[in-house]
Amino acid sequence: MNILLTGGAGFIGSHVAEACLDAGHRVVVVDNLSTGNRDRVPKEAVFYELDITRDDLGPVFRDEKIDVVNHHAAQVSVQDSFRDPIFDAKSNIFGTLQLIQNALSYQVARIVFASTGGALYGEMEGTPANESAIPDPKSPYAISKLTGEHYLDVLSHSHVLEPVVLRYANVYGPGQNPLGEAGVVAIHCHRLCAGNAPIIFGDGEQTRDFISVRDVVSANLKALEPGVSGTFNVGTGIETSINTLTGMLVRLSGLQVDIDHQPAKPGELFRSAVDAARLRKTGWEPVQNLENGLLETYDYFYRQARH
Ligand SMILES: NC(=O)c1ccc[n+]([C@@H]2O[C@H](COP(=O)([O-])OP(=O)(O)OC[C@H]3O[C@@H](n4cnc5c(N)ncnc54)[C@H](O)[C@@H]3O)[C@@H](O)[C@H]2O)c1
């Protein structure tokens, strides 16, 4: 298949690009390199440096004979979405609409959309949220992702459109940007590899559902299979506290460091995990356990630091 992959120079997108190429697909990456890196785009992929909000994507659909869209390009920072909600909406709502409209014009039915479970469901109560939980967006970012989902849903009733929405939990793995405000695994690894103490905001008892990028990649491959369509959570359903995660990473580093405790960030969720039973029914299973996933990620950052 000819896959148009937006955001393929970014953390998750570049892993998806590699896996799609390995599976024998042709991959056409569209990325404006705002947070992505050209070097992360596999050499076998076709690359267009384009902004999905500004540039006409029509010629790419036409010339590359696109069969499937996999949409990972986005303004990804929750904190930045509070600072500049218009930019967030332009990237995540208008950018997504541009893609959908081009897909409709060029008869591309399948659109895989990278959405968010963590930000969308709000505070977790009781058990991990499944897809029928009523969304409770608490940030402009969550609103813009949910809006993208709504457009896909509504337009799929009036057009030939087969959306596959993947609502990710907290994704971690090699290649994640450690310099942003999100991605606690990458941030901790980066600091530890420089000999610095990890910083914990708040008491550290807040929980997250950490899913390896490897398992996110296999969900994206699953999304290409015929018969798989709809909205799916992508997570482990396991809550891990930031204290536990930090302890695991400090142990991996072998360093003797005191944790740097700082005040909680306003608006941060206390508990978050998603139930991926619906995706499991398609045959998908997360295979990477946290211990091994953290080891692989720490190793990546260690090698980067010594490069
Ligand atoms: N990392 C997570 O834990 C997580 C969780 C839930 C959802 N997601 C979603 O997964 C997707 C990928 O996230 P990531 O963590 O790999 O982030 P990332 O910042 O590494 O990747 C985003 C990519 O999109 C590109 N991009 C941004 N705006 C663009 C535009 N207007 N036109 C073209 N390219 C543009 C960037 O240059 C970058 O390469 C995003 O849609 C994000 O919202 C990520």
Whether residue 35 is found in the same domain as residue 55: yes
Give SS3 for 109: coil
What's the Rg (C-alpha) of the chain? Answer: 19
For the whole model, what pTM was predicted?
0.97
Report yes or no: 131 and 168 within 8 Å, Cβ to Cβ. Answer: no
Q: Is residue 21 part of a domain?
A: yes
Total length of the chain: 307
Distance from residue 265's CA to the centre of ligand 1 (Å):
22
Report yes or no: 9 and 51 within 8 Å, Cβ to Cβ. Answer: no
Whether residue 46 is found in the same domain as residue 75: yes
pLDDT in tens, 256-305: 998 999 999 877 889 999 999 999 999 999 999 999 999 999 999 999 98
Ligand 1 atom 26 nearest Cα: 73
242: domain CATH number? 3.90.25.10
- H or E stretch at 114: strand 110-116
Ligand 1 atom 11 nearest Cα: 72
Domain count, the chain: 2
Asked if 141 is an active-site residue, the reply is: yes
Phi, psi of 71 (to 5 degrees): -105, 100
Indicate which residue of 48, 106, 141, 172 is catalytic: 141
Ligand 1 atom 34 nearest Cα: 31
Which pLDDT score, from 0 to 100, does residue 105 have?
A: 97
Which pLDDT score, from 0 to 100, does residue 125 have?
A: 85
Q: Rounded to whole angstroms, what are the CA distances from 162 to 68, 92, 118, 135, 267?
A: 10, 19, 24, 22, 34
Domain that holds residue 201: 172-208+238-273+289-305
Whether residue 53 is found in the same domain as residue 145: yes
Phi, psi of 159 (to 5 degrees): -135, 170
132: domain CATH number? 3.40.50.720
Report yes or no: 161 and 152 within 8 Å, Cβ to Cβ. Answer: yes
Distance from residue 74's CA to the centre of ligand 1 (Å):
4
pLDDT in tens, 166-204: 999 999 999 999 987 779 999 999 999 999 999 999 999
Whether residue 178 is found in the same domain as residue 293: yes
Q: Is residue 281 part of a domain?
A: no
Distance from residue 218's CA to the centre of ligand 1 (Å):
18
pLDDT in tens, 19-74: 999 999 999 999 999 999 999 999 999 999 999 999 889 999 999 999 999 999 99
